[in-house]
Structure 1
């Protein structure tokens, strides 16, 4: 498996912050599948935009300018991909593309900061609704088995009420692919106001989230993927959960593996038999 450097996930995560002209430019690069003449003059003429618009678009994506952006974009074509044939291969290719997107979005320094949050926390909460709630439960199961005092919440009213009980000893994770779940954002705002550390896992980057999220972890988006509707929306969340879990496990690894093995032994013991 090859992981390719690509700017597509960066474009997608900033998409909602673009002007209509910038969205037109973004769509061109997202949906393009062939190496072509990407000079500013050629692309500007093809899209009926100014070269200055291309420069602003590139800078909004975090690049120094259009030339820097296009250099990274062309790297996506370094390895030729075979034509997709068959439903099974199609799905596997989409999963591989999601892994590539994760590779391009993950910030290892950010993961280290989040692991430090967890290590210092008295309690950890993770919340989400629908499929995000299922991913939250999986996160609880993973971290609970290595000694983290963690609780998952997937009911709207319970999520809102939990906001009242947060303090500086807590870390709160919110899972919302869209980044727009009012209930999840409400908990993060309330928790932040009460000095808890707050982390949002989302596929969209919005400036207003920085006001109450200590960390916004970007997830790959399913929106622009062919056959994206057959892929579980939990998948990007679970991949990022594993990355954070791996980073946290690496801290005092022996101690955490002992705790994990102890939970396995507890499960293998069988049901409790009362003494006669």
Structure 2
């Protein structure tokens, strides 16, 4: 229920936001009747009804039933489960605040403009690099990923001015990836860095810095997979890339799926 409230938050009036904040804070063991809540928050019962309707409910009573039901269900989750789910929610919220839509459009166009795309990622970032290759290859993109320091160093012989090189480092400290971007830049390639760190000290090594939503010590996280925020950005880029020159890419995607005997659902 809380995500539903948060998704409509910006459309609420100041009074309704006050009501939203009250329920987001997950009040427990309080009288939530319209009369009790209106007195507690110094709002009218009509305001509670308008608030509920903006969330898609017929009125406050229906909202309250759904709220209490979801709140009761959440109590069955133990602390560890809640911590993991809360971490995912924080990552999504940070990604939402950091994502630059204009940048996503620019990079989608870059992917179309360059003859060859190389993705660098070591350790957990190699999972993202591999997923990037598999997703975009279906759309006909000439893309390869390098997941070992030795491979990244050797790849410089293939990089030129018609190459786009994307380096993934959640921590922003992966030396092999940073060095790979530096060498690619020196050879005239277009370069992009994907990181949860504001690695401005390396700004001469990349043309674009994509910031991902990270948590403290995300690179060595023991609660959620560190590559999750980067995979979210890959999905966003994929959507923009598919939308750019849409018909041509959908034909290539269909051709790929036919070769693996997979049919798209309408």
TM-score (norm 1): 0.66
Answer yes or no: is 1:139 the counterpart of 2:83: no
Secondary structure class of the residue paired with 2:140: coil
Report SS of the residue matched to 1:164.
coil
1:37-79 Cα deviation digits (max 9, x unpaired): xxxxxxxxxxxxxxxxxxxxxxxxxxxxxxxxxxxxxxxx797
In the TM superposition, residue 224 of structure 1 has moved relative to its aligned partner by: 6.5
* Partner in structure 1 of residue 42 of structure 2: none
Give a deviation string over 1:10-50, Cα, whole Å, max 9, x none: xxxxxxxxxxxxxxxxxxxxxxxxxxxxxxxxxxxxxxxxx
Quickly say closer, same or farther: Cα 1:4–1:133, change in 2 above 3 A: farther
Tell me: CA distance 1:170–1:240, structure 2 relative to 1, closer, same or farther (3 Å): same
SS state at 2:157 partner: helix
Higher RCO structure, 1 or 2 (CA under 8 Å, sep 6+): 1
The within-5 A match list for 1:198-237 is 198-223=191-216, 228-237=221-230
Residue number in structure 1 paired with 2:46 = none
Q: 1:207 Cα shift?
A: 2.0
Answer yes or no: is the 8 Å Cα contact 1:166–1:194 preserved in 2: yes
Task: Quote how far apart the aligned CAs of 1:80 are.
Answer: 2.8
| Offset of residue 136 of structure 1 | 0.3
8 Å Cα contact 1:3-1:100 kept in structure 2: no
Q: Please state whether the residue corresponding to 1:199 is helix, strand or coil.
A: strand
| Aligned twin of 1:117 | 110
Larger Rg: 1 or 2? 2
Are 1:80 and 2:24 matched, yes or no?
Answer: yes
Which residue of 144, 160, 180 corresponds with 1:187?
Answer: 180
Structure 2 CA distance for aligned equivalents of residues 78 and 257 of structure 1:
46
5+ residue gaps, structure 2: 10-20, 28-73
Query: For 1:175 and 1:249, how far apart are their aligned partners in 2?
Result: 21
Structure 1 runs, 4 residues or longer, greater than 4 Å off: none
Distance 1:78 1:194 in 2: 56
Q: Using the alignment, how far apart are the partners of 1:133 and 1:79 within structure 2?
A: 41
Stretches of structure 1 lacking an aligned partner (at least 5 in a row): 6-76, 270-276
Total equivalences in the alignment: 197
Q: Tell me how far 1:223 sits from its aligned partner.
A: 1.1
Give the direction of change, closer, same or farther, for the CA distance of 1:231–1:3 in structure 2 (3 Å limit): farther
